[in-house]
Amino acid sequence: MGKIEELIESKDGEIRAVKVKVSNGHLLQRPLNLLYPMELAETKSNELVNEIEQINEKCDEKTDDTITTNKRRQRPA
């Protein structure tokens, strides 16, 4: 668990990762898909979580169009 300290944008201007401050004081860089909001106490944190949720929704919309299913033949048991 940790606190989001900074949003990291990619070259195309999309937020792809964040810097998270963990309990031992270290700053870790993590991609958005590994984040999960636990407890919110500050308004600023709420704004960041809302922004992350909007980004995740956009990513889901983009990937829904491009997902292809790889169906492998299953062996009989």
CA distance 74 to 9: 42
**pLDDT the model gives residue 69:** 57
CA distance 77 to 74: 9
pLDDT tens track, the chain, 77 positions: 888 899 999 899 888 999 999 989 999 999 988 888 776 555 566 677 778 788 877 776 665 555 555 667 777 76
**pLDDT the model gives residue 57:** 79
pTM for the structure as a whole: 0.48
Terminal C-alpha separation, the chain: 42
